[in-house]
Amino acid sequence: MRHGKKVNHLGRQASHRNAMLANMACSLIEHKRINTTVAKAKALKQFIEPLVTKSKEDTTHNRRIVFSYLKNKYAVTELFREVAAKVGDRPGGYTRIIKLGNRLGDNADMAMIELVDFNELYNGGKKEVKKASTRRGKSKKAEAAPEAPAAEETTSTQE
């Protein structure tokens, strides 16, 4: 029975597992997406999501906590600068796991894990959320505004 066993050991000792997850997290922060096995991607998601949450508030204490996990000052700098700026308003769910199929050599389930806000294909290149439109007609000001420049163009061409 596996009661209360929440950690996937990934067939490694604790020190090897922590070093591997730290290296994978640094690669994910640097490249914004990496290919790995599904089991490692799920373990990495649990490892990196709290670190991204910590990076949203840029304090010395949070930087030291994140550095104690990642052990790479360049990855910490990138996380607190670029990544935190993009995910500042997101309440969670910073990563996405996409299953890719099986690896040719050993038939392992492969997946791509990526930072959600850095994929422009799924985001559609949208930066701001559009406000909901009303069912009312346009106001008089909105209708009059486009006509005014058109009238100016006709007067300038007559001159």
Per-residue pLDDT reduced to its tens digit, 63-120: 999 999 999 999 999 999 999 999 889 999 999 999 999 999 999 999 999 999 888 8
> Residue 18: which H helix or E strand, with range?
helix 14-31
Cα–Cα distance, 44 to 102 (Å, whole number):
19
Cα–Cα distance, 114 to 119 (Å, whole number):
8
Per-residue confidence (pLDDT) for residue 86, from 0 to 100? 92
**122 confidence band (pLDDT: 50, 70, 90):** confident
- Alpha-carbon distances, residue 42 vs 4, 46, 99, 120 (angstroms): 18, 7, 11, 23
Residue 15 C-alpha from the chain's centroid: 27
Q: How would you class 71 by CB atoms within 10 Å of its CB: exposed for 0-12, middle for 13-18, buried for 19 or more?
A: middle
Cα–Cα distance, 119 to 112 (Å, whole number):
12
Burial 34-51 (b: 16+ CB within 10 A, else e): bebbeebbbbbbebbeeb
- Strand ranges, E, within 103-150: 109-115
Backbone angles phi, psi at 36, to 5 degrees: -160, -175
Mean pLDDT (whole number) for 130-150: 61
Per-residue pLDDT reduced to its tens digit, 17-59: 999 999 999 999 999 999 999 999 999 999 999 999 999 999 9
CA angle 41, 75, 36 (to 5 degrees): 20
